[in-house]
Amino acid sequence: MRILVISNMYPSASAPTFGIFVKNQVEALMNKGNQVDVAAVTNPEGGRKNALKKYSSWMWSTFRRLRASGRDFDVIHAHYAFPSGVPARMMAKKFGIPYVVTCHGGDLNKMAKKGRFIRNQTKRILQDAAHVIVVGEDLLQQVVDDFGVPEDKVSMFSMGVDSRVFYPRPQMDMQEVLELSPYEKHILYVGNIIEEKGIEDLIEAFPKVKYELPNARLHIIGPAKQEEYLQKLKDRLTELDAAEAVTFHGAKTQQEAAEWMAASDLFVLPSHMEGFGLVAVEAMACGTPVVGTNTGGLGRVLSGGAGAVTEPKHPVSLAEQMAHVLEDRHKRAAMIEKGYKKAAANDAETVTEQVLEIYRQAQQRNEKL
């Protein structure tokens, strides 16, 4: 099968984690013997001027590619309804090729709320798609109820955990590799350093944890989208007299992030909004207990005792859950065991087969038209 993947996020040498979940799925599809072409934005830089430049260039190059070879594709897969679904929908109409859309969260929870034009475009993209994949239950409800997509055209599953990268390793060995003290409690966050991820709540919560557990340390891994925001966080840590116990490590590769997860005593994801929360499941796959917020698909990920749940924007509750998990070894053991099962249920191999089946059904329906 020849597949065109369109995405407004895709990693590059300078930004190796930018949309890495899309690249992982592309590689998984190729490993199944499919030919996959990619038309994607690889520049993570924000700002109105830069965004206009990179998106217009990406759209133009995508349209040129589709005009030249659009008929050669069996299916188009757009990651994020808007803007990736715009060229997918236009070329599907021109060449009669079915397209599939994956909604990751930001496209519905944020982008579609920017104005009537984008919301209407999003609605047309979702309704005209051969199939819509969502990564969380709240997104499923939005696609069906708010955007009027028939429920039989929507599937819910994650992007999948790559078990070749995220797997248990001996904690002490990883701490030795990363030069971490075995006498400290290491708390980890991995993700973009942006307001929506609840980093400020984590910064406020950490000193409360450290008061209970003086040997606690906080490690923050991920790119800072805005230097001013990063500086604001550092200034607040200084005010709280906690700066010496917190380290900002910057962006890491997936392999490096997995090592940090295996070395840590606790993984925290304090998001204000989250489509699914794949990084939390990746931490579970490494055998690390997870504390996260009850938002979007993340609440479902943490359900059934697989993680500890707190409400978004509630630093006091977040601190209590963090300290409780770090101190209660029986709770930790139960969470680790259930976390393994949650990770196994979201294995990338299974997800890839589900995606391919959706492609095949889309083709079959298209041939009957």
| pLDDT at 45 (0 to 100) | 77
Top-tier CATH class for 171-345: alpha beta
Task: Region of 148 please: left (phi>0), alpha (psi -120 to 50) or beta.
Answer: left
Cβ pair 219, 264 in contact under 8 A: yes
Query: Are 2-160+348-368 and 171-345 equal in CATH topology?
Result: yes
Angle between helix 116-128 and helix 85-95 axes, rounded to 10 deg: 50
Percent of the chain whose predicted confidence (pLDDT) is above 90? 82
Q: Across residues 150-168, what is the average pLDDT?
A: 95
Tokens of 20: 């890495």
2-160+348-368 classified as CATH 3.40.50.2000:
yes
Other residues' Cβ atoms within 10 Å of the Cβ of residue 241: 10
Q: Which residue has the higher pLDDT, 226 or 3?
A: 3
| pLDDT at 368 (0 to 100) | 66
Q: What is the pLDDT of residues 169-212, one digit of tens each?
A: 999 999 999 999 999 999 999 999 999 999 999 999 999 999 99
8 pLDDT exceeds 80?
yes
Q: Where are the domains of the chain?
A: 2-160+348-368, 171-345
| pLDDT at 53 (0 to 100) | 79
- pLDDT band, residue 150 (cuts 50/70/90): very high
Q: Across residues 126-131, what is the average pLDDT?
A: 97
Task: Write out the H or E segment, with its range, that includes residue 31.
Answer: helix 20-31
Q: What is the pLDDT of residues 227-277, one digit of tens each?
A: 899 999 999 999 999 999 999 999 999 999 999 999 999 999 999 999 899
Cβ pair 252, 221 in contact under 8 A: yes
103 pLDDT exceeds 90?
yes
Q: What is the pLDDT of residues 88-101, one digit of tens each?
A: 998 888 888 999 99
Q: What is the pLDDT of residues 318-338, one digit of tens each?
A: 999 999 999 999 999 999 999
